[in-house]
A and B are shown apart, each in its own frame.
Chain A
């Protein structure tokens, strides 16, 4: 019984964590950060503009 509750809690925590990443961070952001950390991709800074001086 204890084992079932433990596994259930772990799965629940995993589900909440994945949902948080999906909803609040986005997988693209995570992959980009990971790629920058591992040197596979250049760091990127996005600058906005309107096409008028």
Chain B
């Protein structure tokens, strides 16, 4: 571990509700980093914002959801339908276009509408949309509340799907490298801990439901267990081939204003094999960090 672990650096979180405010917070250095949509991170770099993707938030954890009694049974049935996406800069938007390519459907065959993620389930329930694609826990919410069903989990249509990535300001990478390393090691350790035991996932659901997601713990427990590989927290290194595919698709459909090379927006030098990381959770400043 770095010297900062011995000092006990405090990593605190700040909740945002929209992406433009996140961008401003990065520029003004109000935050050191953020979990952000992968294509949005690329576009911010294309816009000249000095940030780098240093790690992933998770793998998979997205679903295409339709009404419980909907006649939609496969992707082809979405032709002519209205589907909500979280943002045009979301990888969920890229996935919809990737699927349309695979199914030989023109891009205008589905009416994709940007809707804030928390509003996806209510829009489906109200009949304003025919389906939605979103990150958890909002895919599971329609299932748990009994009015929706998952048409596809991303693990089944784009395995190891990337949604949110961890980006850090370039000046922190240049000047406070040990701090960034400490944070990445912490995320890696948390992910390993989550994926090694279902009891750990249930504990995490209790804590994050109250403090971060502001959702019922039962919903997060459902997300983390049904099925168990619905969302994964290991294999979080940013891989060039994954990002190249996202970048090319994003550029093709006009989400990115220009092609961005992997090295321009990503720095994978903080990734360390888990067996090289000090695995002593008791050393974390749990009391302070929980405040």
Contacts and interface: CB of A to CB of B under 8 A. Distances in A.
A21 B172 CA distance: 22
A45 B30 CA distance: 10
Contacts of B214: 51
A20 interface: no
**For the complex, would chain B's binding face be called helix, strand, loop or mixed by DSSP majority?**
mixed
A30 to B, nearest CB: 15
A53 B62 contact: yes
Contact of A48 (B10, B33, B118, B213): B33
A43 interface: yes
Contacts of A42: 7-10, 285, 288
B61 A49 contact: no
B164 interface: yes
B34 A47 contact: yes
B27 to A, nearest CB: 12
A47 B10 contact: no
Contacts of A46: 12-14, 30-32
A40 interface: no
Contact of A53 (B36, B136, B179): B136
Contacts of A47: 11-14, 31-35, 183
A23 interface: no
B16 interface: yes
A51 B7 contact: no
Contact of A50 (B8, B15, B32, B285): B15
Nearest to B172: A45
Nearest to A36: B7
Say which size band chain B's interface belongs to: 35 or more
Interface in B1-33: 4, 7-19, 22, 25-26, 30-33
B7 A48 contact: no
Chain A interface extent, by class:
10 to 19
Contacts of B183: 45, 47
Given A52-B134, A53-B163, A43 B7 contact: yes
B16 A50 contact: yes
Interface in B24-65: 25-26, 30-36, 57-58, 61-62
A3 B225 CA distance: 77
Given A42-B288, A43-B179, A49 B10 contact: no
B118 to A, nearest CB: 8
Nearest to B180: A45
Contacts of B61: 53
Contacts of B118: 51-52
B212 interface: yes
A52 B10 contact: no
A42 to B, nearest CB: 4
Nearest to B187: A47
A13 B84 CA distance: 57
A48 B31 contact: yes
Interface of A: 42-53
